[in-house]
Each structure stands twice: as C-alpha cells, then as structure tokens.
Amino acid sequence: MPAYWGIAGYPVSHSLTPRLFALVGEHLEMDEAIPIFLEAKGIDEFTSLVGDLEGEIWFSCTAPLKHSPQTRLGVSGPEGVNAINQLSRKDGVWSGVSTDGFGFVAACRHIGIEPAGCTLRIRGGGSAARAIAAAWADEGGLIIAEEGRRPLVSGPWNSAIIENGNAVIGIDLDTAPAGGESSTLDAEMQVSISYGDGASTDEFAVIMVVAQHLEAWKLLFAPDRVDELPSLSLLLQKLSVS
C-alpha cells in the first residue's frame, strides 16, 4: 500500500489518473493512499517535490518527465522507446515501466481494431510514438510513419514500417496535451490520445489512459494481484459514474 499515488508532469490538472488510482484501489480494497497532482516542469522540480513526501509513492508521469528518470533516477525504459510513464518509489529506490504502447493496443482492441495485419499511420517520433510503434509492431501490425516535429527513429519496429498503403487507423502524436487539436491524417479512422477537462469515457484518449493505467498495475504497482484487477470495460464504467 503506497502512502501517495497520482500524476506528475505539466500540465496535469485535467488528468484522470488520480481518479483511476482511487477506483482501482477501491476495487482492490486499497483506498488509503493520498491522491496527488504533482505539477513539475522538469526533473529538478520533480525530485525537489517528491523529496518532501515520505513513504512509498506510485506515479503516472507525463511530459516533460518521461525521459529524465532514466539518468536522474536510474530507471530505464524499453529498448528503442527509452522513456517511462509509470514510476514507483519503494524504500527509496525508483522503478518504472512504459505502458503507452500497451494501452494504445488495448484501446484499439476495445473499439474493435486488431493490430495484426492492420496498418497504423502515425505522426511524430516522441516517447509515446516510439512506445506505440513498438507495441503495434510486436502485435504484427504495419506502420506508415509521417514526420512531425521529429521523425520516428529506427527501433524494434523497423520491420513493420511500410512506405504507403491503406491505413485503418491514424494518430497524430504531435497534438498538444489537454485536448489539443490533431492534424488530419489519411486513415479510415483517426484517434487522439489527448483529452481535456470533461472528456467522455467514449473518447479514445480516455479509453487509452484507462487501459495504460491498468497495464501499470499489472506490470509495476501490483503484479501479484493481476487476476483481481477490474477489466477495461468495468473500469471505464466505474469512471463514467464516479
């Protein structure tokens, strides 16, 4: 049982993560942690703020904190992704995982899109783009990469890259956080992982954040209680009425 759980990064005031921690915690009868929104525009501010918190801490983290923990906290992201978005501090030691890609795949399956043999058109090359590309390729999907603010660099997804084709789903990962507008991509369906205040549980961005939060519990926060976790559908239902 952690002393605190919540979200870290900037901006975070719109984040559903503290509510998701509370809902999953209630489901597992682990509801005594203190929820926190930790606004930090850099790793120095983050380490200063968490230094004042005693006990075990569970965080989801967003920009601009996905890369810094690798050097400052000694937490390494997956090969090629080289970033994390989930952090845990226990007995003064940090650990972390990346769940962006797993959450994206789970959200796609939730809306009826199976990655295997399916083409994803993706714009951007940041940590979320790399995590999604890695997970999509690992599930047998194909990728058309469009350069945005930065290109999608070489990685474990190289064999899945194709030059052109019919994209079933598209995503612009250069969209601004907190509900920013996406550029239009050539795909049968376009989704976004950016959501703002008042977002509905029918929105893909919300489905994904719920899916990746569940993955964090499985991989980092409570891997010994995987069989007791709520399903994605149940957690979305709980969120919609909370």
Q: Is 41 among the residues known to form the active site? A: no
Instruction: State the Rg of the chain over Cα.
Output: 17
In whole angstroms, what is the distance from residue 87 CA to residue 64 CA? 14
CA–CA dist 15, 4 (Å, integer): 16
List the catalytic residue out of 66, 90, 218, 238. 66
Closest by Cα among 191, 138, 202 to 169: 191
List the end-to-end C-alpha distance of the chain, in Å, as a whole number.
22
Look-up of token digits 């979320």: 128
Under a CB-based contact definition with an 8 Å cutoff, are residues 187 and 143 in contact?
A: no
Query: What is the H or E stretch that residue 138 is in?
Result: helix 127-138
Cα gap 52→224, rounded to integer Å: 29
User: Token digits for 186?
Assistant: 């050539």
Distance CA 68, CA 211 (A): 24
Query: H/E element holding 46?
Result: helix 43-50
d(C-alpha 3, C-alpha 156), whole Å: 37
Q: Which residues are catalytic?
A: 66
